[in-house]
Amino acid sequence: MYPRKINQNHRVILASILVTASFILNKSLGYAWITVIVMAASTFLAGVPIVVNAVRALRYWIVGIDALVTIAVIGAWLIGEYWEAAAVTFLFMVGNHLESRTLERTRSSIQALLKLVPDTATVHRDGQEVAVRPEEVIKGDLVIVKPGEKISVDGTIVKGSAYINQSAITGEPLSVNKAVSDIVYSGTIIESGYLLIRADKVGEDTTFAKILELVEEAQDKKARTQRFLEKFSRYYTPLVILLAVVLYVVSRDIVMSLTLLVIACPGALVISAPVSIVAGIGNGARHGVLFKGGEMLEKLSSVKVVAFDKTGTLTKGKPEITRVKAYEMTEEELLKIAAVGEIYSEHPLAKAIVSYAAKQLGMIHERPAEVNYIPGQGLLFIFEGKLYLMGNRKLFASRKIQLDACESYLAKEEALGQTAVIIGDKHGVLGVISIADQVREDAKQAVHHLKSLGIHRIVMLTGDNPRAAKAISSQLGIDDTYSELLPQDKVRVLKELQDKYGSTAMVGDGVNDAPALASADLGIAIGGTGSDVAIETGDVVLMSGKLSKLAYTLALSRATVRNMKQNIYFAILVAVLLLGGVLIKTVNLSYGMLIHEVSVLLVVVNAIRLRGYGKTRRG
């Protein structure tokens, strides 16, 4: 904050000696020439950085706290209040020093992340182990990591096994066991074991690098309250100067006017919001929760409705085939036709069908001649010269194909929470493949915790059929369920919820929920460790992929906003009391500065309490 020609610690020590000597000389000799010289030296040593900062700010047409103090100190010297000038500059300097040191503690969680940045990497090149900087690792390199070392890349294990501490990314304290073919991430630490890792993502492309970038950017994305206070301070400070001039014109009391300049410094008020926001963002980062700015943190605290996507969010997103029902052909024939039709699809249900067919029938080499995907319904494809339909009821209804032959079977499967994929041709139904996606173990608890936090409405949005959707929502205790939704339908439903209840958050896995995440007041992505899509699409990202973190995230946002409001109210109260004290002449220049600096420190100390949030309570 100050120029570094004199070390800040040394400046504080020297100024402390001089101001103490000034106080003693003033008490014993009064304003003798030696006393004035020592006071001048103390004022100069502590005051030069203040004047420099004031001049720098004025070059950009900013009248800040340093300018108010500079005017007050110069005025004190002109009227012979040498001790007041020395005391004010000293107290302001010490307050700034303590403030900067204390502020470092609010950023400790972020600094802890920075310390986890790998500084070296050992790669296998030309038959030798070579130590390089992490940014020098090339995609495809084989990276060697030993016990106690940090992993420097995102990659796939090709040899070895190890217990890895992933808390830097997920916030989870327990180590996880990783072996061949598992994915590992930069910034995590091997506690025991040995790994040879193929580098898949390096440098700025790694998950940990993206997390650091997001956390650093988040500190610059200001909350609505923070932006208001900054705008307020731009007009407030010149207004204080004008008020001091008016007070002097009316009262002819120059000391009172100068005192007003000092006590009216909006230091505690200006810092009240950002210090809480930084502490909240840092706490979240330490627990695997990424807030993409103070605005997102503030928005989350006022959410009234939480809408969940189903597949991959409330469920594990790994659907499995439970039953195959064939009509007029064998189950094997039906399964082969279905796998051929879905071979090019990236949909989770399609992958489940193709994977199951490969296990039952072996590798499927045939390919469809033509495929037409119909959003929200399914697909049409041509195989061996014949047109097939594969999807839900809407697809068959749009082609006027009756489902009478399988309607009772469909109803029974859907009542069990199964997703039924119908396969047919232009003549009728050929069979049904039932698919189940297991509900996450922590989903019910997450819904319960959100309700305990006072969320007005919890809803589920899904493209699945009504019976399957209802089975899952009933199991989890969800208030409302909207089924058979296309992506644009989810956006429409969210708008209706916003109009009816107020601020709405959308929780999705970040893969196919981008429109809904973007249209909600707040998008919360639960993409799991290392999900690039989740990191890109969500306003808030739960890196561990655990729904149990959701209630903690909401509670943290509320605690942060509550802390911010406490700081603001306290800063305003102190300013009002000091102003009253000046007007009734009970607060002098140095006493006013002392109270001002103490109030700033108390605001910072209050924000530091957020560092410990979650140690005794996990949402």
pLDDT in the model for residue 222: 58
**Domain assignment present for 19:** no
* Residue 299 located in a structural domain: yes
Q: How many other CB atoms are found less than 10 A from the CB of residue 530?
A: 24
Q: Within a domain: residue 307?
A: yes
Q: pLDDT value at position 171?
A: 58
Interaxial angle between packed helices 65-78 and 33-59, expressed in degrees from 0 to 180 and rounded to the nearest 10: 150
Do 403 and 445 have their domain in common? Answer: no
* Pair 414, 451 in one domain: no
Query: Looking at 417, 436, 455, which one is the last position of a domain?
Result: 436
The answer, yes or no, to whether residue 10 has pLDDT greater than 80, is yes
Which of 66, 141, 154, 309 is catalytic? The answer is: 309
Q: Is the pLDDT of residue 618 over 50?
A: no
pLDDT in tens, 344-390: 887 778 888 999 999 999 988 899 988 998 877 889 999 999 999 99
Residue pLDDT, tens place only, 562-571: 999 999 899 8
Q: Is the residue at 579 inside a domain? A: no
Query: Is position 125 within any domain?
Result: no
- What pLDDT was estimated at residue 215? 63
Last residue of a domain, one of 201, 224, 246: 201
Q: Please report which residue ranges of 175-223 form alpha helices under DSSP H.
A: 207-220
Across 577-603, average pLDDT: 81
Based on the fold, state whether residues 324 and 311 are members of the same structural domain: no
CATH number of the structural domain spanning residue 514: 3.40.50.1000
* Mean pLDDT, residues 432-442: 88
Percent of the chain with pLDDT over 90: 22
Confidence of residue 333 (pLDDT cuts 50, 70, 90): very high
3-state DSSP assignment of residue 237? helix
User: Residue 26 domain-assigned?
Assistant: no
Q: Considering Cα of 394, then 398, then 399, then 403, what sign does the dihedral take?
A: positive
Token duo for residue 86: 């020395």
Stronger pLDDT, 339 or 106, i.e. the higher one: 339
What single-letter DSSP state applies at residue 312?
I
Average per-residue pLDDT in the chain?
Answer: 83
Burial class, 204, CB count within 10 angstroms (exposed 0-12 / middle 13-18 / buried 19+) = exposed
Range in 176-180, 236-240, 509-513 the model is least confident about: 509-513
Both 325 and 400 in one domain: the answer is yes
Same domain, 506 and 481: yes
Closest by Cα among 226, 369, 393, 246 to 299: 226
Could you tell me if 47 and 71 are in contact, meaning their C-beta atoms sit under 8 angstroms apart?
no
The answer on 506 and 463 residing in a single domain is yes
- Same structural domain, 325 and 361: yes
**546 and 473 together in one domain:** yes
Residue 523 has pLDDT above 60, yes or no: yes
Nearest alpha-carbon partner for 542 in 483, 618, 464? 618
Neighbours of 265 (CB within 10 A): 28
Indicate the range of 208-212, 325-329, 374-378, 478-482 predicted with least confidence: 208-212
179 against 616, higher pLDDT: 179
> What does the pLDDT read at residue 1?
40
Distances (CA, A) of 400 to 325, 414, 428, 432, 493: 22, 22, 10, 18, 28
What was the pLDDT predicted at 535? 66
| pLDDT for position 501 | 92
Within a domain: residue 344?
Answer: yes
Section 509-523 average pLDDT = 77
Last residue of a domain, one of 436, 458, 481: 436
List of residues 6+ apart from 483 with CB closer than 8 A = 462, 463, 464, 465, 466, 468, 469, 470
Are 465 and 553 contained in the same domain?
Answer: yes
User: For residues 26 and 40, what is the distance between their CA atoms, to the nearest angstrom?
Assistant: 13
Tally the domains of the chain: 3
Note the pLDDT tens digit of each residue in 238-289: 787 788 888 888 888 888 888 777 777 766 777 788 888 888 888 888 888 8
Give pLDDT, residue 173: 60
Residue with tokens 């989810």: 490
pLDDT band at residue 468 under the 50/70/90 scheme:
confident
| Residues 290 and 345 occupy one common structural domain | no
pLDDT score of 95 more than 50? yes
Mean pLDDT of 63-78: 76
What pLDDT shows up at residue 255?
A: 80
> Quick one: what percent of the chain has pLDDT higher than 70?
88
Say if residue 445 is in the same domain as residue 298: yes
Domain containing residue 365: CATH number: 3.40.1110.10
pLDDT-derived band at 128 (thresholds 50, 70, 90) equals confident
Mean pLDDT of 460-485: 87
Same domain, 448 and 523: yes
pLDDT at residue 502, as a whole number: 92
Instruction: Using pLDDT thresholds of 50, 70 and 90, give the confidence band for residue 335.
Output: very high
Is 532 tagged catalytic?
Answer: no
CB 336 within 8 A of CB 488: no
Query: Residue 293 CB: number of other CB atoms within 10 A?
Result: 21
R_g over Cα of the chain: 32
Quick check: is 144 in a domain? yes
Q: Is the pLDDT of residue 3 over 60?
A: no
Which residue has 């002097």 as its token pair?
Answer: 248
pTM, to two decimals: 0.72
Distance CA 41, CA 38 (A): 5
Q: Show the domain range for 195.
A: 138-201
Q: How far apart are CA 509 and CA 511, in angstroms?
A: 6
